[in-house]
Structure 1
Amino acid sequence: MADTNWIPFASTALGAVIALGGALLSGARNDRAQRGRDRETDRLNTYIDFTLALDAAHAALRDVARVQPGDADRKTAASYAVHESGLYGVRERLLMSASPALVTAGEAAFGRLIDIRNAVRSGVMLSTREFHDVYHRFAEALWTFRVTARVELGQNLLKPGDLDRETWAEREGCVLCE
């Protein structure tokens, strides 16, 4: 009878090991799932921050484009407008975390914004055809970025017609383009 006294102890110990292993496995799975959700949230925040930075830089460049071209501070103001938007920092986050398709779309939008900055630096005024030409290329690239981000995040593809638009370039309704 003394030989069987170890069986309850062994079965209790084995049960404890199995329960502990199950808890550890469950915890690891939960941690992995949480890390995945955190990465998804970080990517979404990066995409939104990038879009908002592009918009802020564009709005600031529009303000600079209202200043007469002869103003000596215009070039500095155009550079400052992009810098102060936080665009460069969030662009780096995008380059590090986004898919190749989204990086490509983001770089296209960034490049078109830099085209606006360069036009403003060169003296282009807001109400001119030259400004609107670079603006429309930017608008189209920005919408392409938004749509690419939606698809990457598992949302349905948006088409211009879904928002009562002819194109993403926003030429319809533009006084200078009609």
Structure 2
Amino acid sequence: MSWAPLLSAVIGAVIALGSSLLVDVRRDRSQRGRDRQQERRRQGVAFTVALVDALGALRPVAAAGRDAAERRVAAGEAVAPVYAVREQLLVTGTPGQLAAGESAFHALIGVRDAVRDGSALDSAEYHDAYHLFAEALWRFRLTVRADLGEPELTPEELSHPDWTDRDRCDTCQSRALPSAM
């Protein structure tokens, strides 16, 4: 009996099995990478939406005539949902996302603090905090886009001079008019 055909069949089977395993390992790594990227995309969008929602919830608190205690509670409640989404980002985000996300989060806290301290929507204190937040939020969005390989955006591409939103702010525009005269 010749062992050559049997040996060649065994070697062929080992090569085929090894190749199949190698393809599966590569496919699995590739899928894990896509899954991680999709999770980072989801977390980036979720954090952005949570920040925007919190700002939206702070606006009526700043507009309403509440006493100091009610205002402090309402401002805290407006921002509270952001903490859980922030924790998820802290676990899944890239270092760049975390730095930009923390900057945006702390800028939102600046808006919250202005509202808690009694700043009205048309006050300089509110607007200074808001515009810092607007710029930090855009920096976060741009960082997430870059981490995901999306094209870079400039303010000019969206018809803005910068990321602060001052150009579209009626309060800031009305303040600029008297000093320009």
TM-score normalised by length of structure 2: 0.89
Residue of structure 2 in register with 1:27 after alignment: 24
1:147-158 → structure 2 map (5 Å cutoff) = 147-158=142-153
Moved more, 39-48 or 152-161: 152-161
Aligned length: 173
1:146 is the counterpart of 2:141: yes
Name the aligned partner's letter for residue 17 of structure 1: V
Give the superposition deviation at 1:37.
Answer: 0.6
Structure 1 residues 132-151: Cα deviation after superposition (integer angstroms, max 9, x where no partner): 12111110111111112212
* Counterpart among 44, 47, 59 of residue 44 in structure 2: 47
Residue of structure 1 in register with 2:128 after alignment: 133
- Contact 1:115 1:134 survives alignment (8 Å): yes
Counterparts of 1:40 and 1:23, CA distance in 2: 26
More helix by share: 2
* Counterpart among 108, 117, 123 of residue 112 in structure 2: 117
Give the superposition deviation at 1:104.
Answer: 1.4
Residue of structure 1 in register with 2:78 after alignment: 81
Residue of structure 1 in register with 2:177 after alignment: none
- Contact 2:68 2:116 survives alignment (8 Å): no
Counterparts of 2:171 and 2:115, CA distance in 1: 18
Moved more, 65-74 or 146-155: 65-74
Counterparts of 2:169 and 2:63, CA distance in 1: 18
Change (3 A) 1:69 1:129: farther
Counterparts of 2:114 and 2:106, CA distance in 1: 12
**Matched residue of 1:172: which SS?**
helix
- Contact 1:68 1:123 survives alignment (8 Å): no
- Contact 1:68 1:125 survives alignment (8 Å): no
Moved more, 47-56 or 72-81: 72-81
Residue of structure 1 in register with 2:62 after alignment: 65
- Contact 1:69 1:125 survives alignment (8 Å): no
Change (3 A) 1:156 1:150: same
* Counterpart among 166, 172, 177 of residue 167 in structure 2: 172
Give the 4+ runs in structure 1 shifted more than 4 A. Answer: none
Name the aligned partner's letter for residue 19 of structure 1: A
Counterparts of 1:173 and 1:43, CA distance in 2: 30
**Matched residue of 1:123: which SS?**
coil
Give the superposition deviation at 1:95.
Answer: 2.2
- Contact 1:69 1:124 survives alignment (8 Å): no
Identical residues among aligned pairs (%): 47
* Counterpart among 33, 38, 42 of residue 36 in structure 1: 33
Residue of structure 2 in register with 1:162 after alignment: 157
Residue of structure 2 in register with 1:15 after alignment: 12
Give the superposition deviation at 1:10.
Answer: 1.9
- Contact 2:68 2:118 survives alignment (8 Å): no
CA-atom RMSD in angstroms: 1.4
Segments of structure 1 that go 5 or more residues without pairing to the other structure are none
